[in-house]
Amino acid sequence: MNSNRGIEVYKSYCNGCNKPFYELMDYELEECPRCGSKDIIDESILTKQIEVSFDTGEIIVKD
Ligand SMILES: [Zn+2]
Q: Is the pTM of this model over 0.75?
A: no
Ligand 1 centre distance from Cα of residue 61 (Å): 25
User: Can you count the helices (H) and strands (E) in the chain?
Assistant: 0, 4
So what's the pLDDT on residue 6?
93
Rounded distance, CA 40 to CA 11, Å? 10
Ligand 1 centre distance from Cα of residue 17 (Å): 4
Mean pLDDT for the stretch of residues 27-45: 94
DSSP structure class, residue 28: -
Average predicted confidence (pLDDT) for the chain: 93
Adjacency order of strands within the sheet including 19-24: 19-24, 3-14, 40-52, 59-62
So what's the pLDDT on residue 1?
75
Q: Where residue 53 falls among pLDDT bands split at 50, 70, 90? A: very high
Task: For ligand 1, an ion, list residues with CB under 5 A.
Answer: 14, 16-17, 32, 34-35, 37
